[in-house]
């Protein structure tokens, strides 16, 4: 296989994996692959956000757009919670222009040693 054929093969694979070619519905087995969560966790999250499957008892399908929107929503909520919970650290005061020995002597003098 020459370079041109390899490039053509890679481009065809990319076209097949394009988001525009993705199906409108996801199978239940695809949910963990899309979300990166366990089957039990993703189904619980979808149920909590009101996303219901479509289809019969043997072939449940989930709206791809609703699943992705729900995952983005919980990701945004998690990012906001992390940003709010970070403690504010006091600013560090740098000591410039003094040697280590003079700083050590000042520390001992202030401690009374």
Residue 40 sits in a domain whose CATH number is: 1.10.1660
Does residue 79 form part of some domain?
A: yes
Contacts of 21 (CB under 8 A, 6+ apart): 15
Name the band, by pLDDT with cuts 50, 70 and 90, for residue 98: confident
> pLDDT digit string (tens) for 24-64?
888 888 899 888 999 999 999 999 999 988 887 777 888 89
Does residue 70 form part of some domain?
A: yes
Pairing of β 61-63 and β 25-27: antiparallel
Name the band, by pLDDT with cuts 50, 70 and 90, for residue 18: very low
Does residue 112 form part of some domain?
A: no
Look over the chain and give the mean of its residue pLDDT values, rounded to a whole number. 80
**Contact indicator for 73, 49 with CB cutoff of 8 Å:** yes
Does residue 52 form part of some domain?
A: yes
pLDDT at 20: 47
Helices (H), 49-88: 64-85
Percent of the chain exceeding pLDDT 90 equals 21
Domain count, the chain: 1
Whole-number Å distance between alpha carbons of 113 and 107: 9
């Amino acid at each position: 296989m020459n370079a041109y054929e390899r490039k053509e093969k890679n481009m065809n694979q990319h076209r097949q994996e394009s988001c525009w070619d993705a199906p409108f519905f996801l199978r239940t087995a695809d949910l963990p692959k899309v979300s990166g969560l366990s089957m039990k966790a993703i189904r619980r999250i979808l149920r909590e956000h009101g996303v219901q499957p479509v289809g019969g008892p043997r072939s449940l399908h989930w709206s791809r757009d609703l699943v992705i929107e729900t995952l983005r929503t919980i990701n945004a909520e998690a990012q906001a919670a992390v940003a709010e919970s970070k403690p504010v650290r006091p600013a560090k005061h740098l000591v410039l222009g003094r040697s280590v020995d003079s700083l050590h002597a000042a520390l001992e003098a202030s401690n009374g040693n």
